[in-house]
Structure 1
Amino acid sequence: MKRIFPLLLTLLTATVLHAQSYYWVMLTDKGNAVFDPYNYFDTHALARYQACGADLHDLSNYPLDSDYTKQVNDLACEELGASRWLNAMAVKATPDQAERIGALPFVKAVLAIRSDAQLAQHDNDNADAPSDGKNATRLTDQLKRMQGHLFVRNGLDGSGLRIAVFDGGFPHVDTHPAFAHLRDGKRIVDTWNFPNKKADVYGWNSHGTMTLSCITGIFNGRQLGLATGAEVMLYRTEVELEPAKEEVWWMMAMERADQYGANIVSSSLGYGKERYYTTDMDGTSLVARAANMAARKGMLVCNSAGNEGTENQWKTIITPADADSVLCIGGTTSSLTQYNHIYFSSYGPSADGRMKPNVSAFGHALAATPSKDSVTYVDGTSFSCPLVAGFAACAWQSNRNLSAMQMKEAIERSGDLYPYFDYALGYGVPQASFFTETRQTADPTFRFEESTDSVTVYIPEPGCRTTVFYNKQRPGGMLDHYANLAIESRTPVRIRFHKASLDSCTLNVWFDGYTNSYLLTAADQVRWSDTSLPFRPNVASEDGDATHSFRLNRALADNKPSARGIGGRWHRELYVDFGSMVNTESEELTLHGFSSTAHIGLRHVRALGKYYSLGAAFEWGRQRYNLDKTSNNGLDTRFGLDADHDVKFKQLYHNDWSLEVFQRVCFVRGGLLSRGIYWDLGFYGSYSNFHYKLATKKNNGVPAMEVDITNPAFDGRYFWNWGMTTRIAYDIVGIYARYRMTTCHIADDAVCPIRLPRLEAGIELNF
């Protein structure tokens, strides 16, 4: 038992080094694969290909070469799936197997898969909505905000279009009254459960039930989504316990949606801080590439922007919402009278400077819930996305001659802020009138007034409640600053900007449906080039009654993620350990029962990558050794203890201050604090002191004795120690072990040897 803990650490290290991981195996070509598109594609898919002019015989549609896949499978532990579009296989393999797979002549690259799908659902109040009874169908506010009544009036309900929904499960969709019209009309045309490899999707995560209802739901006379006449395809792609596979399943779902004729994809999933960095949100991830490819094949892909607006280590959109061809959808508050970005909705732009999100919709919505087959209010861009997907189906029904990219552009142009945009709301909330009525040119609602040193936005008729949007746009098109200003005034309002605050940028302003822009003249640009002032307006009304407040006031620099906190470059952890000392060697002092230990400390963790970190910790600890009172030890002789004494207890308290250095490997992200499942391995050094307690009872004339001494003043080697540490934890709770490498002697071996146990183990709470 002498080397038991080092041996266990060695075995654990070897296990981690040879652990099975997930990989994309990218192939060089399709080899001898053959393909018959008319046998592979559904008739709806064939019609879509013909309508958009895509090539049915495109090489991306061909299957993978069977000989290639066999050779890879012979070397791998398991095949997770395959992507025709990427010409790639997803496999489970050890690092050694992955290296051998990479050496195959037809393998272009082997890429590690480490991802975690994020459901773009924010914490919600789960407030059940009251039932209205079975009256005539009425629109909920989330649909009124998009002028959904105009689609209803014109008989546009998404009929003739297919919408594929990617999510974590669809419990009760086969029984919930909100989807009775889908079941009765046989409009659920395809289902597939990618994790379980079967058609049943009517279970698991209720998130999919909620998002589907925002596309097509009708409950007790209330219409939850606009596309009540569309056909739907339900694909389960997300499993919390197997996050590394979710990106594979998302890719496979996209290809199945293509095969079975989807026109629109609604994905309330995405990938962000668990795998990527904000600089990666540039449309180049594998899922972003697949989304762009789907657009070329005639599908409109709608994806949630994400709920990272308040995440200091992220803030920006997630992928595949960053893809150029994807309609990225942000969130607004649920008001028909006020126009605000909902606080958690992720901000744009993409990492390469493209405008995102594209449009927005309610981020607080009424949705069906499997609980009691009812409805509830929920939060998240998870619900903004399907609301717009349902809108898109009705809009596309109004003009089936548009391609997917033309429809994406049309939805952008239908936004109620267009042509104004910002990185919180995009072009605003899509409006049905763009597709059902002749759009009128907006009448001017303000004008620019210029003086020597300033430009003023003059609003002659502000009304009691006024919302003004403005931004500062660089010559290259990116926004340097944008704001949403709420003003209350009964008299004309002037919003003044100093010219020195504009630099060479364009001032864009939107108010009450009208947009206009102002750019400094060349002479003014030269005049003010050496002067820099904050981009901050002065607001005043003619009679001085104006009050104003910023509902949003944001600069591009505000998107910079914080280096601190989980997901950043470094973070701190406060932890407490509770455990027990354990005998592992025969020479050790025998313990009696539970010998409790406790530690409290602070760790500093520095991320060197998404899954590897180094850290240091400083802690105070105490171990209480409950010594076997029936066994003799060297200190008995020192204190005159003999067989005539009736021992009550023998206790040795070991106090130490420790400094630890360690490495951390994260296997899976997740949990309350997003730490996921991780393993730490390190070394510690400590300075120690001891406190010895001994008590006996009076026995046959032998008087009772008590000993209470700190740091026994005789020869010993116990002040300085070092050892190894390890922890395996999930988020805030885990198990730990410490093994002291030094032989801790309380006294000289020749006089009264006491060798303390080395191993300590217990549980840890990490905050």
Structure 2
Amino acid sequence: MKKQYFLLLLVVVNFSFAQIQDAWVYFNDKPSAATFLANPLTMLTQRSLDRRTAQNIALDITDVPVEQSYITQISAATGITVMAKSKWLNALHIRGTQTDIQALTAFSFVNAVKFANHSLNPNGRISTVSTINKPVNKQYEVQTTYNYGGSQNQIEMLNGHLLHQQNFTGQGKIIAVLDSGFTGVDTAAPFQDLITNNQILGGYNFPDRNANYFSRHNHGTNVLSTMGAFVDGQLVGTAPSAKYYLFITEDVNSENPVEESYWVEGAELADYYGADIINSSLGYFGYDNPAYSHVYADMTGNKTFASRGANMAFNKGIVVVVSAGNSGATANPHIASPADAFGALTIGAVDNLEAYASFSSIGPSFDGRIKPDVCAKGAATTVSTTTGTITTASGTSFSSPVMAGMVATFWSAMPNLTAQQVVSFIRQSADNFNAPTSQKGYGIPDFQQALNIALNIETITTTENTIVYPNPAENQITFQLEKNQKGKVCLYDVLGQKIIEKEISSTNNTIDIQNLSNGVYYYNFESNKVFKGKIIKK
């Protein structure tokens, strides 16, 4: 009897090792980094480089692609399928048996392997469910649909109409939409201005690995309409003059961690093209295989793959707008990934009277940070269908893009702001800023107030007596500072690469530039205030 039991145990264990698993394989290095960093246009577009320069963000090794020889060797390994890759996290998303995946650690360039099944990792969480549940119902943070129109309330709630009246409508800004599909965008009347004016710049379908992004699903269509659609008297998006990239990162056929990897790939492609804003009306918590699922304790800002990607995008100068989720009335009411990310501007939902919508996922993050950050209308938001019918739908799926469009409109009014400043001013303008709650975060922003705050800051900054001379200069530059003032100066080239960093003071305020090549350079001086400008080396 004991022998029979032991034999059965062996069969179960062997079956476990034979099951196909999802995992990430992380690499030690990027051997080609120096070559790429010396030739930035081989890894990023000029617009992406310009965004970094404008925000004083230096290029670094995370901008370098994953080493191709590593991808080739992993792809050729026994039983391994490569599903996605991330240069920011220097990793591949792979599928294979536990045995085949663990065998990859024999490669000298592999740093670590992390299984999506938490119980297979050292000190991993033990799953309490041993069977695979029925597929998770993909709601895309959408609630009930109603049959009435009118986008006035969702824009006026944020005082967005006041910016529109000043002719700020998102011009000059690019929004990357990460979603499940965009059927009908190329044919429905509400999107024809975007098509005619070439405001759809392109996109990609990650699950199918092709450029057919007007496909798969209608959720992204509804989402895009709140930002870019225009039907006179029925629906005006919050950023009708912005330009858009459309990325399908969500697979409607299943709920699997590979979608987090597609999400990060989409964010990296948005960065490559120079997008200013990402909208993601997607969230990750439960998966078809419960052994892969997250728990609230994972929502610490930088643990899940998607949240780590969101943080990287923000660090590259992109405002990352993410829906809070629709779990507010469930047994697990808290935000999911990547809404928990440090770098995400997480959006909750309110109704037309600015009251909290009961379905909207709540905060805080597990580590106690304010989430959601702010709110917009997500109950009966006016949207377009794939056929062009103007209707309403509810969910943080729609409060998020309403906000993302307003971010673009606000940023078009103040194009010299950094992503960090944009997020900060939006939070400061919100009606609960001094008393945030777990339901509405800092509350509902007032974008006219945010603009006033930003204009006041700019006025103070530009009238300070901080002078850099001579300019143009040959050998050195001097910062004329106030008595006892000190701070740090960083000097960047036109590609955004930091070339000089020095602490200066009112008595030690010169920087040697004689060894620099002739051309334009940008400086950033940080003290009790921040001063930026450019100098010419001759």
Structure 1-normalised TM-score? 0.52
Give the letter aligned to residue 122 of structure 1.
Answer: V
CA drift at 1:139: 4.8
> Deviation per CA, 1:82-103, whole angstroms, max 9, x where unpaired?
1100011111111111111022
CA–CA distance in 1 between the matches of 2:419 and 2:19?
A: 43
Report the equivalent of 2:218: 206
The 1:117–1:193 alpha-carbon spacing in structure 2 relative to 1, beyond 3 Å, is farther
Q: 2:373 aligns with which of 354, 358, 368?
A: 358
Give the letter aligned to residue 129 of structure 1.
Answer: Y
Report the equivalent of 2:266: 253
- Match of 1:53, SS state, is coil
Deviates more, 1:226-235 or 1:105-114: 105-114
The 1:424–1:84 alpha-carbon spacing in structure 2 relative to 1, beyond 3 Å, is same
The 1:378–1:123 alpha-carbon spacing in structure 2 relative to 1, beyond 3 Å, is same
> Deviation per CA, 1:264-318, whole angstroms, max 9, x where unpaired?
0000111124421111111122221211111111100000111111111x11111
Report the equivalent of 1:302: 321
CA drift at 1:401: 1.6
Report the equivalent of 2:166: 154
The 1:286–1:438 alpha-carbon spacing in structure 2 relative to 1, beyond 3 Å, is closer
The 1:118–1:84 alpha-carbon spacing in structure 2 relative to 1, beyond 3 Å, is farther
Report the equivalent of 1:715: none
CA drift at 1:42: 2.1
Paired residues of 2:80 and 2:101 also in contact (CA < 8 A): no
CA drift at 1:259: 0.1
Paired residues of 1:398 and 1:435 also in contact (CA < 8 A): no
CA drift at 1:437: 4.7
CA drift at 1:204: 1.5
Paired residues of 1:224 and 1:366 also in contact (CA < 8 A): no
Report the equivalent of 2:94: 91
Give the letter aligned to residue 19 of structure 1.
Answer: Q
Give the letter aligned to residue 374 of structure 1.
Answer: T
Give the letter aligned to residue 73 of structure 1.
Answer: S
CA drift at 1:363: 1.3
1:38 aligns with 2:51: no
Question: Alignment length, in residue pairs?
Answer: 421
- Match of 1:348, SS state, is coil
Identity %: 33
Give the letter aligned to residue 80 of structure 2.
Answer: C
CA drift at 1:117: 10
1:422 aligns with 2:442: no
Give the letter aligned to residue 404 of structure 1.
Answer: A
Paired residues of 1:18 and 1:94 also in contact (CA < 8 A): yes
The 1:304–1:118 alpha-carbon spacing in structure 2 relative to 1, beyond 3 Å, is farther
CA drift at 1:16: 5.0
> Deviation per CA, 1:75-131, whole angstroms, max 9, x where unpaired?
14211121100011111111111111022222111112369896542331x33336x
- Match of 2:70, SS state, is helix
- Match of 1:252, SS state, is helix
Q: 2:407 aligns with which of 392, 415, 419?
A: 392
> Deviation per CA, 1:421-460, whole angstroms, max 9, x where unpaired?
11111121111221455799xxxxxxxxxxxxxxxxxxxx
CA–CA distance in 1 between the matches of 2:364 and 2:257?
A: 27
1:188 aligns with 2:200: yes
CA drift at 1:55: 1.7
CA–CA distance in 2 between the matches of 1:117 and 1:212?
A: 22
Report the equivalent of 1:271: 284
CA–CA distance in 1 between the matches of 2:233 and 2:344?
A: 33
CA–CA distance in 2 between the matches of 1:367 and 1:114?
A: 38
- Match of 2:271, SS state, is helix
Paired residues of 2:347 and 2:400 also in contact (CA < 8 A): yes
Report the equivalent of 1:701: none
Paired residues of 2:350 and 2:375 also in contact (CA < 8 A): yes
Report the equivalent of 1:122: 142
In terms of fraction of residues, the more strand-rich structure is 1
CA–CA distance in 1 between the matches of 2:308 and 2:53?
A: 22
Q: 2:312 aligns with which of 288, 293, 296?
A: 293
> Deviation per CA, 1:335-361, whole angstroms, max 9, x where unpaired?
2xxx31100101111111111111001
CA–CA distance in 1 between the matches of 2:51 and 2:371?
A: 27
Paired residues of 2:151 and 2:382 also in contact (CA < 8 A): no
CA–CA distance in 1 between the matches of 2:349 and 2:168?
A: 24
Q: 1:367 aligns with which of 383, 394, 397?
A: 383
CA–CA distance in 2 between the matches of 1:249 and 1:150?
A: 37
CA drift at 1:246: 0.6
Paired residues of 1:328 and 1:358 also in contact (CA < 8 A): yes
Q: Indicate the structure whose relative CO is greater, using CA pairs within 8 Å and at least 6 residues apart.
A: 2
Paired residues of 1:139 and 1:149 also in contact (CA < 8 A): no
> Deviation per CA, 1:623-649, whole angstroms, max 9, x where unpaired?
xxxxxxxxxxxxxxxxxxxxxxxxxxx
Structure-to-structure mapping, 1:480-519, within 5 angstroms: none
- Match of 2:257, SS state, is helix
Give the letter aligned to residue 395 of structure 2.
Answer: G
CA–CA distance in 2 between the matches of 1:117 and 1:189?
A: 32
CA drift at 1:215: 1.4
The 1:95–1:433 alpha-carbon spacing in structure 2 relative to 1, beyond 3 Å, is same
CA–CA distance in 2 between the matches of 1:71 and 1:346?
A: 42
Unaligned 5+ runs, structure 1? 1-6, 131-137, 441-767
Paired residues of 2:278 and 2:318 also in contact (CA < 8 A): yes
CA–CA distance in 2 between the matches of 1:297 and 1:119?
A: 30
- Match of 2:320, SS state, is strand
Give the letter aligned to residue 410 of structure 1.
Answer: F
In terms of fraction of residues, the more helix-rich structure is 2
CA–CA distance in 2 between the matches of 1:161 and 1:294?
A: 16
The 1:439–1:276 alpha-carbon spacing in structure 2 relative to 1, beyond 3 Å, is closer
CA drift at 1:234: 0.3
- Match of 1:373, SS state, is coil
> Deviation per CA, 1:403-426, whole angstroms, max 9, x where unpaired?
101100111112123323111111
Give the letter aligned to residue 296 of structure 1.
Answer: N
Unaligned 5+ runs, structure 2? 1-6, 119-135, 288-292, 456-538
CA drift at 1:8: 12
Structure-to-structure mapping, 1:676-691, within 5 angstroms: none
Paired residues of 1:327 and 1:358 also in contact (CA < 8 A): yes
Paired residues of 1:300 and 1:326 also in contact (CA < 8 A): yes
The 1:438–1:291 alpha-carbon spacing in structure 2 relative to 1, beyond 3 Å, is closer
Deviates more, 1:324-333 or 1:72-81: 72-81
